[in-house]
A and B are shown apart, each in its own frame.
Chain A
Amino acid sequence: MSSPSLVASRALWVRLGRMDPRYPVSFLITLILVLGQARYGILGGYDRLAVALGVCTATELALSYWLRGSFANVQSAYITGISLALLIKPRADLLWPFALGAFLAIASKYVLRYRGRHLWNPSNFAISLLVVAAPASVAILSHQWGNDLATNAVIWCFGLLIASRVGMLHVTLTYVACFIALALVRSSITGGPPLAEIAPLTGPMYQLFIFFMITDPKTTVSTVRGRMIVAAAVAAAETVIRTAGDFHVGALSALYPAPPILALAIVGPVANVIDLYRAGRSSPL
C-alpha cells in the first residue's frame, strides 16, 4: 500500500529520470548559487554573475544562429555561466576573466570538435585555460563556502540524487573511490597526513567538478564501462599532478592550483577522441 504522497514522489522521480539531464543539473547549480550567496556571499559581486551569464548566453545564441541557422537551447550556457561565476576568483577588480572565459567556454563547443561533437566540457576548458594562461589575474575557488559541513552535506545530497537520476552516478562514485584510494597511496609516498590528502573532496571546487564537469553527458564517452575507466584515468592523472606538487616539480607548477580540473582537461578530450574514433570505425559507412 502506498500513500498518495509516496506515489506522487515516485512519479516525480520517474519524470526526473526522463527529463533532459540539463534541467535537474540547472536546478542543482542554481541551488548551490543561491545557498552559497545567501550564506557566504560567494559571488563577490553580482556584476561577475551578470557578465558570465550574459556572455555565455549571448555567445551561445549568436554562434548557434551564425553556424547552424537556429538558436540553441541556452540551458548549457546557463550552467556554464554559473560555473564560471562560482569557480573563477580573479584579482578583485577584474571582470575580463568572466567575459573572456565565458566566450571561450561556449565558443570551444563550436570550434574544438571531432566527428560532430565537442571535446571539452565548456567550463572545464575555459577555467583550465585561464588558470594556466592567466595566473597573474585568475585564481580558482579553493575555499569560499565557509568550510562548513552543513553546506557541504546539502550539496552532496542533492548532487548524488541528481547524478543518480541523470545516469551519471557511476562516474561520480568511480572518481571518488579512485580519488580516495590514490589519496592514501600519495599519503604513504609523501608521509603526509591521510586526511590532508582526502580533504580536497569536501571542498567546493570538487563539488562543482564532480557534479558538473566530469559527469557532463555531452563530453563523456558512450559506455558505462568507458566512463568509469575515464573517471579512473582522470583520478590517476590528478595523482600525477598532485604527486609532482608534493615533490615541488617546477615544470608542472602551473597545474597545482586546480589538479582535478586540469586532469580532466587533459584526459577528457583524449578519451572522447578515442571513443568517437572507435564509434566511427564500428558504424556502417
Chain B
Amino acid sequence: MVHAVISPFQRRVAVGAAFVAAIALVLILNRRAPAGDSPVEPQFHLTNIAPEAGIDFVHHGPTLDPKLDNIAPLVGSLGAAVSVADVNNDGWPDLYFTNSRFGYPNALYLNRGDGTFVDTARVAGLADVNRAGEGVSMGAVWGDFDNDGLEDVLIYKWGYLQLFKNMGNLHFTDVTESAGLRHWMNANGAVWVDYDRDGLLDLYVAGYFRSDIDFWHLKTTRVMENSFEFATNGGKNRLFHNLGAGRFEDVTDRMGVGSTRWTLAVAAGDFNGDGWPDLFLANDYGPEELYLNDHGRRFVLSRVGLESDSKSGMSATLGDALNRGRLDAFVTNISERGYLFQGNNLRLNFLPELGRFQQGAEGVITDAGWAWGAQLGDLDNDGRNELFIVNGYVSADRDRSYWYAMSKIAGANGNVFEDAKTWPAIGGASLSGYERSRVLVNRGLAGWTDVAAAVGVTDEYDGRAVALVDLFNRGVLDVVVANQNQPALVYKNAVVPGTHWIALKLVGTRSNRSAIGGEVTLEAGGTRQLKVVDGGSGFASQNDRRLHFGLGTAARVDRAVIRWPSGTSQTLEHLDGDRLHVITEPGR
C-alpha cells in the first residue's frame, strides 16, 4: 500500500532526510553534554583567603630516579595532601599540609582564632620529614591512638611510615620505631579505624606502588601497573592492630585485608549496619573493594556490585548523599573528551535491603575530568550535602597533550606497559591539565548542578586533596585544597543568611578518644542526615572531626542518635541549633 503511494525516489529522499537529521541530532546532543543540569541560584560563595590568612604553602612533588625520566611528571604527580586537626585543643581547627620533595618541609598551620594562621611545623617537629633514605610524604591522618586527649599523626609516605605522638605544648615525638610501624611502603592513603571496637585506634595503610620499590634507587623499571583495568601488582595494603601501650602489630594477613590492587584511597564506615566498621577501597586500575568487618574477627571481601565495574578509583568519599540515613560512597574517576569516559561513581548504599550498592551517578556528577579528591558536605546549610571535587593531573604545555601517546600503550598487553621504559616520553606535555574544580549543589532526587564558577571556584590547579572544616567557628563549612606542585587554597565560605546549623564534637570514653568512626543520625525539620567522624577519607585528606550539619530553616534538632565506635547507642532530643555541642560518651 505504502509502496504504491510513495515513489522510490521519495522514499530515498525520506531516508536521506532522516539520515541527515540523525547526524544533526548527534551534534545537538553532544553540545548539550557538558552543560549539565538546570541552573540553580547557589546560596553560598567561596573566596580564597589563603594569602590573607597567612597560608602560603606551595607543594613540591618528588624527584625520582632518572630511570623514570620519560614519565617522571606522571609517576611523581602525587603527594599534595591536607588534613585537619585541633592539635592544641584550643577549639580552633588547624591544618597540616604535606610536601613531597627531599628537603622541603611539611607545614602545620596553627589557627590563631583571629582569621590567621602560623606555620609551626618546625617547632612542633613535623616539618623535616622528607629526607633521603626516609622517603617523602604522601599524606597524613590524625587520631588519638593512645587516648591521652591529644591528636597524634601518622604520615604515610613513599618511604618509611612515621607516627608522631603529640606530647602537648605543640611538641611531637617520632614514635614510629617503638610502635613497630617502621615499614617502607609506597602509600597514598591511610585511615584510622577501631576495627575490633577495643577503644584503641587501629591503622589501615593503602599501598599504591609495591613496597619493594625505592623510587630513588630503582633496581628495575618494571614498576607500573600490569593492567589498566584489573591490575593486582600494586603495593600490599596493611592493617596494624593497636595493642595498647604505644605498640602496633601487623595483622594484615590474619584479617584478610592485604589487597594488592592499586589502592589510592580508603575510607572506613559501617555500610551494612551491623555496628562494625568496614573498609571501602578506591583502587586505581581496578574495581573498588568493600571489606566487610565480621565482628572484628576478620574482614571479608564482599560481592556487593563493585566487582566488575573496573575504572580508576581515585578518592573514597563517604556521606549521606540523598538524606536516607545511609552511608553512601562517592568515588572519583577519569574522563577525557574523546578518549575515556569512566565516569564517577555514586555508590548508593542498599546493603541492608539488597546486599549491594546501586549506581546513583547521573548527569553532571559523572564527569569531573581527571578527578582526584572529593568531599561531601553541606556548604549552604540547607540540610543536603554538596560535592566539592578537585581535578587535573599534569598541567604543563597547554598546547600539547599526552593523551594520544598514552592511548598507544593503553590497549597493549600488560607486560608491555608494566615496564616504565616502554612508555612514550611525556616531555613538557600536559595530561588532563588546567581542569576546573567542580562544586555540585545537591538537589536531591532532581540531581546535581555544577555551580563552581557561580560560587567563585575558578582555579585550574592540579587539585589532589580536599578537606572540609569550619575554620573560623562560624557555623559554615570552609574548603581547603592541596594542589600538586602549586599553592594551597583556602576557600572561606559565606552562606546566605536564613539557614541554621548544628555541630557535634564527640569525645570517646569507652571508644577511642577521637570518636573516629562514631556515627550521628540526625532528624530535623522532617529530614534525616547521617555523618561519621572522619579517620581519613577522600584522597590524601581528612576532614574536621567535628560533625557539621546544615538544618535549613529548622532552628533545632528533633533527635540525634549517636552510635559510638564502641557500639554504645545514645539518643539526644531537642538540641538547639546554631551552636557546637560537645558530647561525651556515656559510661557503662
Contact = CB atoms under 8 A, between A and B. Distances in A.
Interface string B414-444: 1111000111110001000000000000000
A200 B411 contact: yes
Contact of A147 (B33, B229, B340): B229
B524 to A, nearest CB: 32
Contacts, number: 194
B588 interface: no
B583 interface: no
A93 B414 CA distance: 29
Contacts of B421: 193
B22 A134 contact: no
Contacts of B2: 66
Interface residues of A, number: 65
A200 B412 contact: yes
A243 to B, nearest CB: 11
B29 A203 contact: no
Interface in A44-87: 44, 63, 66-67, 69
Contact of A131 (B34, B229, B338): B338
B341 A197 contact: no
B400 A248 contact: yes
A106 B19 CA distance: 10
Contacts of A146: 227, 229-230, 414
Contacts of A190: 424
B18 interface: yes
A248 B399 contact: yes
B16 interface: yes
Contact of B341 (A89, A129, A256): A89
B422 A193 contact: yes
A90 interface: yes
Interface string B86-103: 000000000000000000
A284 interface: no
Contacts of B308: 40-41
Given A100-B22, A136-B30, A257 B338 contact: yes
Contacts of B424: 190, 192-193, 196
Given A147-B413, A202-B416, A136 B337 contact: yes
Contacts of A202: 411-413, 416
A143 interface: yes
B310 A129 contact: no
A164 B400 CA distance: 42
Interface in B135-166: none
Given A41-B308, A63-B15, A148-B227, A89 B340 contact: yes
Interface string B10-27: 011001101100110111
Given A147-B228, A149-B415, A200 B408 contact: yes
Nearest to A207: B411
Interface in A189-231: 190-193, 195-197, 199-200, 202-206
Contacts of B227: 146-148
Interface stretch (B106-114, B358-366, B469-477, B485-493): B358-366
Contact of B343 (A92, A145, A254): A92
A205 B411 CA distance: 8
Interface residues of B, number: 64
B405 interface: yes
B408 A100 contact: no
A242 B190 CA distance: 41
A69 B4 CA distance: 11
Interface stretch (A3-11, A22-30, A107-115, A267-275): A107-115
Contact of A136 (B15, B34, B309): B34
A105 to B, nearest CB: 10
Contacts of B29: 96, 100, 134, 137
Interface string B235-274: 0000000000000000000000000000000000000000
B537 to A, nearest CB: 23
B49 interface: no
Interface in B1-52: 2-3, 8, 11-12, 15-16, 18-19, 22-23, 25-27, 29-31, 33-34
A136 B410 CA distance: 20
Nearest to B429: A248
Given A107-B15, A137-B29, A196 B310 contact: no
Given A107-B19, A130-B26, A199 B416 contact: yes
Given A67-B8, A256-B407, A107 B18 contact: yes
B233 to A, nearest CB: 12
A108 B20 CA distance: 10
B220 to A, nearest CB: 16
A147 B2 CA distance: 52
9 closest Cβ contacts across the A-B interface? A203-B411, A92-B343, A41-B308, A199-B412, A134-B30, A135-B338, A245-B404, A147-B414, A256-B404
12 contacts: A41-B309, A66-B2, A92-B366, A100-B22, A100-B25, A100-B26, A104-B23, A134-B29, A193-B422, A200-B412, A250-B399, A253-B401
Given A193-B423, A202-B412, A246-B405, 5 more contacts: A44-B309, A92-B341, A92-B343, A147-B417, A190-B424
